[in-house]
Chain A
Amino acid sequence: MASEAPATARGSGVRRLAGALHRRPRLRLALLLTGPLLWLVVLYLGSLAVLFASAFWTTDSFTSQVVKVWSTDNFHALVTTPVFREVIVRSVGVALAVTALCALIAFPVAFYTARVAPPRRRPLLVVAILTPLWASYLVKVYAWRLILSQGGLADWLLAPFGLSGPGFGLPATVLTLTYLWLPYMILPIHTALEQLPAQLLDASADLGARAGRTFRSVVLPMVLPSVAAGSVFTFSLSLGDYITVQIVGGKTQLIGNLVYSDIELNLPMAAALGTVPVVVIVLYLLAIRRTGALDSL
C-alpha cells in the first residue's frame, strides 16, 4: 500500500503539469516549436546569413587568408566580369531547359500511370518510377558518361540514321540532369492527374469538346500548379549541381564549379557566387507562388 503513494504523487504531478499547459496554449506552442525554430533560425538561416556576410570580406593575395574588411568588390566583380555573367546565364539556362524537358516528358508518363494504366498496376508503375532514386547519384552519372562517350550506346543507336551522339558538353549535361530529376516532376503531376474528377472530363466531352480542347481547357489548368511544384525541385536541383557537369559536361562550367574552384583560395568570392543561386531560387519561388503551386507541394 505504501508503494502506491509516490506513484499517485507522480501521477498528480503530471496531471498538474498537463493542466497548466492546457490553460496556457501559448506556453504549449512555445515548448513545441522552440527546438525546430532554433534549428531553422540558427543553423539554417544562420548559415545563409554567414554566407552572405562573408561575401563582403576579402582575401590576402599571397596567403589566401580571409581578411575581414568590409567591401563590395566581390559583388562588383560578379556583375562586371564577363565570365561570371556568362556562367550565371548558362546555369540558369540549364536549369530552365532541364525543367522544361522534365515537364514535357513527365506529363505523358504521369497521364499513363494515373489514368490510362489499369488501376491495379498503378502502384507498381509508381514504384518503377521511384526505383532510380535508390541508386547512387554518381553511378547514374557515370553510366551516362559511358552512354555518351565515343562509340558508346548513344553513338551506336544513332549510327543507323547517320547521326552521332551529342558527346560531352552542355547538351549532355542537360540530358543527364533531366534523367536525374525526372521522378521529382512525374510524382506531383501523377498525384494531380489521379485526383482529377472523371466527371469533369465526361462533362467536357458531353459539351462537345474534343480531346485537345478538354486537355487545354480542363486538364492543363488543373494540373499546372503541380507542374510548377515539380519544377521547384528540378529547377533548384539543376541550379546547384556541379558534379554532373564535371563528369559529362566536357569543359562546361556552371556556378557550382566556380564556387568549388574558389572555395580554398578565395572564400569571399565563393560566398558571393554562392548567393547567386539563392537569389535566383527566391525569385523563382516568388514567381511560382503566384501560380498557387506552393499550396499543392
Chain B
Amino acid sequence: MTAVPTWRNAVRLTRTLRTAACVGAVLLLATACDSAGSTTAGGLNPPRLKAPTKLGRTEGQVNLIAWAGYVEDGSDDPKADWVSDFQKQTGCQVHSKVAASSDEMVKLMKTGEYDAVSASGDASLRLIASGDAAPVNTSLVPNYKDVFSGLKNGAWNSVHGTMYGIPHGRGANLLMYNTQKVKPAPTSWSAVFEGASKYKGHVTAYDSPIYIADAALYLKATRPELKIEDPYALDQRQFDAAVALLKKQNADVGEYWGDYLKEVSAFKSGDSVVGTTWQVIANLAAAEGAKVKALVPKEGSTGWSDTWMVSSKAKHPNCAYKWLNWIVSPKVNAEVAEYFGEAPANSKACALTEDKNFCAVYHAADEDYWKRIAFWNTPIEQCLDGRTDVTCVPYAKWVQAWTEIKG
C-alpha cells in the first residue's frame, strides 16, 4: 500500500543496488507475452504465461524488490538476518532494492531487472494484468503446503485458481481508541464516522486512497440499499456514497497518518483518540504508556496481505524460487513476521517465534478472525465482485477522490 511503505520506511534500508550481471541462465519462465493488460468484461484475463514445471541449477544471484524489513542481512539490526544463511545454503547472492510504495514496485518490475517482489494487494493485480508477474508453480515451493489456507487463492494473489505468488504475511486495519477519553468503548466503525463529531479534531485515519474501502466496508453494513458486495469493487453510485461519508468525516479528523511513529506520538499525547491502526502500532503505543485498545469492529475490517511474486522476465528464476521457499519456511517466516510486526503466513512459524504469545496477539492461526478481513485489492474498471452490468471506479480515480476528500 502506498503508505504502508511509509512506515516500513522507518526501518529504511539503504542498500545500493548493483546491476545484476546476467548469468547466462536459460529462462525457465518462457514469457509467452501476448498483448499486455488485456482485460475483458467479467473479470481479469491476464496474458497467458506459463509457470516452470521443474527447477534447474541456481544462477548464483537473485534480485529482489521488497518492503523495508522484509529482506534483512543484519546490516540494519545485527539480530535481524535471514539473508546470510540463505546465501550460504543456496549459493544465491541476494541483491535487494527497498521500494517506498506499491507504485514504485510496479515501476521497478516493469524494468525486467528484478526476479521477485513482495507485492501488496494494490500492486499484485496490476502486475498480473500487465504480464509482469508470472504464475507460480506452488509444487516447486515445498513450504507452500504449510501456508494458512485463508491466504491461498485470494482475490489479490490468484486468478481463476492459479496462484501468482507465495503469501508472506498479513495484518488487519484495526480500530484503536483511547480507553480514558473514548467512552463507552466502541464496537463499531461508527465511532469514526457518524459518532466522530464527539471527538472532533481528535479522529485519525489512514492517509491513503485505499482508505476509501474502509468507508465502503462500513456502508456495506449500514446502508444495505447500496448493495456493496466488495469494498474494492465500487460502481460510481457506491463510490460517491463512500466519498461523501469521508468528506463528512474530514470535519472531525485531526490528522491523517502515514507513518507509524506519527500515530504512536499522536495517541501518546492525546492529539488522536480514535482511528484506524495496525496491531504493531497498538502494541508500540501501549508499550510507550498510551492508554489504548485496538479491535476489529462488528462490521469487520480491511487488511493487507503481501505476496512474493516472480517476474515474467526473471533472469534468475531458480534462485527466485529458492527465495520464495526460504522466506515462507517456518523459522524465517517467524523471524520476519516478528521483526516487521505482522501475522506470519506459515502455520508452523508460530511454534518458532521468540515471543511465544506472538501468534495469539496477531491472530495468526485464527481463520475466523481473518474471514472478517477484506484484504486490500486493486480497484479496476472490471468489477472484482463479478458484476458485468456496470463498470467500477478504477484506482486512479480513487487517488483523485482522496485529494478532494482531504480538501
Q: Which A residues contact B (CB, under 8 angstroms)?
A: 59, 61-64, 81, 83, 86, 145, 149-152, 167-168, 246-247, 249-251, 253, 258, 261-262, 264-266
Contacts and interface: CB of A to CB of B under 8 A. Distances in A.
A25 to B, nearest CB: 47
Given A167-B271, A250-B254, A251-B256, A83 B407 contact: yes
Contact of B403 (A167, A249, A261, A264): A261
B340 to A, nearest CB: 23
Interface in B312-357: none
Interface in B214-272: 250, 253-256, 258, 262, 265-266, 269-271
B262 A247 contact: yes
A152 B254 contact: no
Given A63-B37, A265-B399, A151 B250 contact: no
Given A62-B396, A150-B271, A261-B403, 10 more contacts: A61-B381, A62-B380, A63-B126, A149-B265, A167-B201, A246-B258, A249-B255, A251-B255, A251-B406, A258-B403
A62 B37 contact: yes
Interface of B: 2, 37, 39, 101, 103-104, 106-107, 126, 129-130, 201, 250, 253-256, 258, 262, 265-266, 269-271, 380-381, 394-397, 399, 402-404, 406-407
Given A251-B250, A251-B255, A150 B407 contact: no
B104 A264 contact: yes
Contacts of A64: 103, 106, 396
Contacts of B397: 61
B396 A168 contact: no
A63 B231 CA distance: 21
B126 A62 contact: yes
A145 B265 CA distance: 9
Nearest to A81: B404
A44 B407 CA distance: 32
B396 A264 contact: no
A61 B104 contact: no
A168 B397 CA distance: 29
Contacts of B266: 149
A264 B101 contact: yes
Contacts of A250: 253-255
A81 to B, nearest CB: 8
Given A62-B126, A168-B255, A152 B201 contact: no
